Chains A and B, each alone.
Chain A
């Protein structure tokens, strides 16, 4: 590890921290329908969308909210699927790419609808420009907006006083979706796309270029509208690359500045949402407490990953590589070890999944840190919206245990946590272990699972585990040693993605409804403060113990044992 490497990380983090209050405050005003700077210039767009869609902007109870969200997601999944299947009949296809194979198209449609952006295909050789821009980019916007909507619904449930008459409401899905897209995602993406283009990210509609290299070989250079995809891919924690090489490709991520900008975009909204939540709870400290818990986990992951990658590979040393360079296999030299480790930690923390290095080539411990980041439930800032609501579910569990320990029926923000809430929180926490462990275990013994493996031993197990972890965590990054574009993986990964998104969103919305109906009691000296260091420690304990205890056995057969084996000079 070098001082310069750490300075990179600290500068990045300082900017995120500085961005959090203004962006968080802006998000709160936008989502709660208050006055804000973009209301005047862009208000017409919101009104236009709502009028065209003809939706009722009244407050919704949680079942109505959930129905709207599921209906919307189902429909857009279908449209994305159909668009891929008929792309050869549609315009903006200069490469004349054919229809995407059915299961792959399904997998991709699911992947983009669930904000996962797992890519079993290579973008430049599979998807037409129209599919990329109208199908996939559309999902990049609305899946992020839907995640943000769910987070707002839960935040409202927790922070609103009980409405009294009628069923408790948690907002309106259509309003949330439209506002998040129109005032937040679109304007920021527009500006950032221009910034990306100015740094050399390409934006054109030309077909691929045939070039002759200096050695006289012919090379195909993929072209396309990348800059506009790139902005929302990061901002919406989507991560689906325009090109197969994702952010390691010089046309997607040309230099350290775009690299930094990308990482900032990934963390910007998830970090800001903690502030938004504090604002809504009328106690900024509540938001900062969540921010602090996330930060501790971020730095812990970074220390492990960067520490592991900064070490020379034991066999590289044997082979006579220059000592002190760190573990450079699979990394772009323009980002280096520090830039690659930081990006990898950011992208796995935030359920983004964009990559600027091969995660598969990370050292066992570095890979372990990335896996763990996702397996902790994507709560380390997490996906847009998903990070906040995931963290709040963890808070519910932590408060419950803490409340018992101090001898009071547990309450968070004055709202009592009762059996029904614990049940919903547990349903939520059950999804990830089930969606990861069951299909991964099956794949580890079934021939159709093993056939896709390019690596044997614990590393192969790590690849299978990473695939389902990434899918269930809606992350989308990959240990690419696994050929996942097979019927078995396309299908099971799609199911894991659906479970990791919607089986978790429904309990969250139910939780929002349950809390919205509760009266809030004012805090007294007997109530446990949830904005102090002690609570943050407890919260971290719950997150780590719940995550670690679930995955420690299989991790010890994968990356952990691999670490010891590599130390003994064995590679896979």
Chain B
């Protein structure tokens, strides 16, 4: 997807305008903390105006400044939210461009009809040919075509879409590059994938996630406590002969309630969703993103996720009396015309290990013999020379039939390779067995490190494979997964998920096939590949547009980051209060009780500048933390205890100390500017 920078000029401008638009009390009331600030600002404004109108010689500088900064506090909070939304909106605008009025060729009783794409209903059949834009989400029911999906996925290489099987799903807004397909539309207008995605990135369909709700409750509760503490301070003050003005009490209240996290809470949520979409993963709900942070167990399909998907030649094991080079030469000859990945990997290995270049089959007058299910061999005939390679037993039978003898060493080696999880491929020249080629699954690079990272995060990885337990164990050991499920059937996969969940674990998995759908539906976090079937996409709660199964790891990190950012800013926000007390309380009481002066540990200029400095600090800290809220705090794969220690040190202790410094500096600045 197209990336949009958050510091884009136009974006900033739009967010600025939106921050005023968001002052509407009907929207503000959804955020209790900021709503209290809004009401407080309105109240001080009224008082300030009254002071200007009714006082003979208004000395309204102080209440004017306080009022101004209270409004800034509200506006900064709105700005943070608007900025987070703005990025999504820019992306949505790009997506919406795809949905412009496309014409669809609807099939009615076998005849084509030109209709507007927006009138298509679920179940309609449409035709798309080279150059056409696919009018809606659906499934290919006839034909095969290459499709350019770059508009949705950002991936420029075309993909193949064909009827039946696991590559039948197409997305509206993508373009057919070749051939002709018939599509059955799968979504009514407004419900398509594109619509959902636009809704999500715009934040329009964003619902509060469970942890966000819990945190909002906590913040609302604290706001009530501080409201009571500040309002009751007025009678307590009156008892003590301290007359507290409403402006001052509102200033104290706004400084104490957790405005920092209250202001940034929704921006953090929107930004988290946005980060996921930047990774080209589209969640169907925010709940899934949060659940991703809690995942305990990850199920990974072996093929395509852990291994490259096909077996590769890794060694030539010659028979007694045969050199490795001879074996490589014959194996290469037998594979020259073999277009399968296995065949190609033999040619490449022969070239790498023994410097044997690929030869032109036509030049040496060779006849290619393709693989057949009966012979389970392939190879070539050069004149009378019969070179074959294939499954070990098949080749041994072939050699025996020609009157040759299979050396027991070769049989033994073949058995050994099979034991180690590899596949032995025997090579023969005439009636002579030259040796075996060791084919094995190749584990993708860098996976070991990623799994180690997951383990450090406290996650368990389980590899799912249809292989026998021996092969599975070998690959599991090589890839560094914690456990494996061999000879897996879809039912076993489902049972494994249920067993993990029964033990209270959250399970994540990726899948693409229709047979994955039940497991995807059962898993707590299920990422369907965009190339997968409609059934798989329907069952999952996220879709990976890049169809990269290891993306799961990024998704988990985004989920964790989301929670951590909220937790850290909450701690920071609450810890800030201590310094604000030491700034404001002595200022309030020092006129009546000059003896309380030692409490003013910062040595602030005057009572008014102390209060104003605290209010300004409180507002500015929101702006200062917007980048952090949008970016998310840095996630490190450490144990929970180490993470907590770090967070407490940085955001707890930091939150305690920072405002002492900040408020003092602002106070000094106010004196310099002559405002105090």
Seen from chain A, the residues whose Cβ lies within 8 Å of a Cβ on chain B are 397, 400-409, 414, 417-419, 421-423, 426-427, 429-430, 433-434, 437-438, 440-442, 444-445, 450, 457-458, 460-461, 519-522, 524-529, 532, 534-535, 537-538, 541, 545-546, 549-554, 556-557, 560-561, 564-565, 567-568
Cross-chain contact A403 with B589 (CB below 8 angstroms)? no
Contacts of A532 in B (CB 8 A): 641
> Do the beta carbons of A526 and B639 come within 8 Å of each other?
yes
Query: Can you list 26 pairs linking A and B with CB atoms under 8 Å apart?
Result: A400-B218, A404-B215, A406-B644, A407-B562, A409-B210, A417-B214, A429-B221, A437-B228, A440-B232, A441-B231, A442-B235, A444-B236, A444-B239, A521-B504, A524-B296, A525-B639, A526-B457, A526-B458, A534-B644, A534-B645, A545-B574, A546-B225, A549-B226, A552-B585, A556-B589, A556-B599
Query: Within 8 Å CB of B221, what residues of A?
Result: 426-427, 429-430
A409: chain B residues at CB < 8 Å are 210-211, 290, 293-294, 563
Closest chain A residue to B650 by CB distance? A405
B240 at the interface (CB under 8 A from A): yes
Cβ of A519 and Cβ of B240 under 8 Å apart?
no
**Proximity bits, B344-383, A CB within 8 Å = 1, else 0:** 0000000000000000000000000000000000000000
Contact A407 B635 (CB under 8 A): yes
- Contacting residue for A397 out of B218, B585, B599, CB 8 A: B218
User: A422 touching B228 by the CB < 8 A rule?
Assistant: no
CA A545 – CA B581 in complex, angstroms?
Answer: 12
A473 to B238, CA, bound (A): 25
Q: Does B571 contact A (CB under 8 A)?
A: yes
CA distance A524 to B230 in the complex (A): 43
Task: Specify which chain B residues have a CB less than 8 angstroms from the CB of A438 in the assembled complex.
Answer: 228, 232
**A561 touching B505 by the CB < 8 A rule?**
no
- Known contacts: A405-B571, A521-B504, A541-B652. The answer to whether A553 contacts B233 by CB under 8 A is yes
Q: A419-B214, A527-B640 are in contact. List 19 more A-B contacts (CB 8 A).
A: A404-B563, A405-B647, A405-B651, A406-B640, A406-B644, A407-B559, A408-B563, A430-B224, A433-B229, A442-B235, A444-B236, A519-B504, A522-B505, A524-B296, A537-B648, A541-B652, A549-B256, A553-B252, A564-B596
Interface residues of B (CB under 8 A from A): 210-211, 213-215, 217-218, 220-222, 224-226, 228-240, 242, 252, 256, 290, 293-294, 296, 455-460, 503-505, 559-564, 566-568, 570-571, 574-575, 577-578, 581, 585, 589, 593, 595-596, 598-599, 635, 639-641, 643-645, 647-648, 651-652
Residue on B nearest A544 in the bound complex, by CB: B578
Bound CA span A552–B561, Å: 34
Q: Looking at the complex, which one of B458, B598, B640 makes contact with A564 (CB distance below 8 Å)?
A: B598
Q: How far is the CB of B591 from chain A (nearest CB, A)?
A: 12
Closest chain A residue to B212, Cβ basis? A419
| A538 engages B648 (CB within 8 Å) | yes
Instruction: State the CA gap A503–B492 with chains docked (Å).
Output: 50
User: Do B648 and A461 touch across chains, with their CB atoms under 8 A apart?
Assistant: no
Assembly CA distance A450 to B236 (angstroms): 12
CA distance A400 to B647 in the complex (A): 14
Q: How far is the CB of B261 from chain A (nearest CB, A)?
A: 10
Kindly count the residue-residue contacts between A and B in the assembled complex, taking CB atoms under 8 Å apart. 211
Q: Are A407 and B290 in contact (CB under 8 A)?
A: no
Q: Are B211 and A520 in contact (CB under 8 A)?
A: no
When chains A and B are docked, how far (Å) is the Cα of A441 from the Cα of B567? 34
Q: Are A407 and B561 in contact (CB under 8 A)?
A: yes
**A423→B296 CA distance, assembly (Å):** 26
Contacts of A552 in B (CB 8 A): 581, 585
Which residues in B have their C-beta under 8 angstroms from that of A458?
A: 240
Q: Which B residues are CB-close (under 8 A) to A522?
A: 503-505
- What chain A residues lie within 8 Å of B252 (beta carbons)? 553
Find out whether the CB atom of A557 lies under 8 angstroms from the CB atom of B644.
no
Chain B residues near A440 (CB, 8 Å)? 232, 236
A560→B239 contact, CB < 8 A: no
Looking at A405, A556, A560, the one whose CB has the most chain B CB atoms below 10 A away is: A405
The answer for the CA separation of A355 and B217 in the assembled complex, in Å, is 39
Query: Cα distance A402–B218 when bound, in Å?
Result: 13
Cβ distance A441 to chain B, nearest Cβ, rounded Å: 4
Instruction: Tell me, rounded to whole Å, the shortest Cβ–Cβ distance linking A398 to chain B.
Output: 11
A288 → chain B, closest Cβ, in Å? 17
Assess whether B235 is in contact with A441, with CB atoms less than 8 Å apart: yes
Partner of B228, one of A403, A433, A457, A461: A433
A553 vs B232: C-alpha distance when bound (angstroms): 10
A524: chain B residues within 8 A (beta carbon): 296, 458, 460
Contact B581 A422 (CB under 8 A): no
- CB <8 Å contact, A402 and B214: no
Interface residue from A407, A429, A527, A545 paired with B563 (Cβ < 8 Å): A407
Distance in angstroms from B179 CB to nearest chain A CB is 47
Please report the C-alpha to C-alpha distance between residue A136 and residue B211 in the assembled complex, in whole angstroms: 46
B252 CB, nearest partner CB in chain A, Å: 8
- Please, how many angstroms separate the alpha-carbon atoms of A433 and B228 in the complex? 8
